[in-house]
Amino acid sequence: MRFESEVVTEELLPAIRSVMASRLQEEYGLNQYEIAEILEVTQPAVSQYLSQKRANQRIVKDLKDDPQTGILLNDATDKAAKEENFTEELRQIITTVRDKGIMKKEFKEAERII
């Protein structure tokens, strides 16, 4: 048995972080150490996000292709770059992905806690 929270932690958050790390580097010129501090992960993790080794690239593509999650990712990245809290944007991305069926297979096979 697998819970939704595991899907979010193991599959969705790495994809979100991958998109955000790329944008923080490309659009804001931040280095890996700065990105790591903002995303609260290690520098090696950021390196793997940037080299597309740490996140499922299908999920990354699906996040980027969906207009609503794209806007939310942009908002989260903008707030992160300004060192503002982006927790609400992350919550909205997770809810949107689940409710729109962007990761339908992964969430269908998971037990919902709440």
Express each pLDDT in 53-84 by its tens digit: 989 899 999 999 999 999 999 999 999 999 99
If pLDDT is split at 50, 70 and 90, which confidence band does 110 have? low
Q: Would you say residue 9 has pLDDT above 90?
A: no
What distance in Å separates the CA atoms of residue 53 and residue 79, rounded to the nearest whole number? Answer: 25
Among the residues of 51-103, which ranges form H helices?
A: 57-65, 67-81, 87-100
Q: Of the given ranges (2-11, 14-23, 25-34, 91-100), which has the lowest mean pLDDT?
A: 2-11
What distance in Å separates the CA atoms of residue 114 and residue 54, rounded to the nearest whole number? Answer: 28
pLDDT of residue 48: 96
Per domain, the residue ranges of the chain are: 4-108
Express each pLDDT in 31-58 by its tens digit: 999 999 999 999 999 999 999 898 989 9
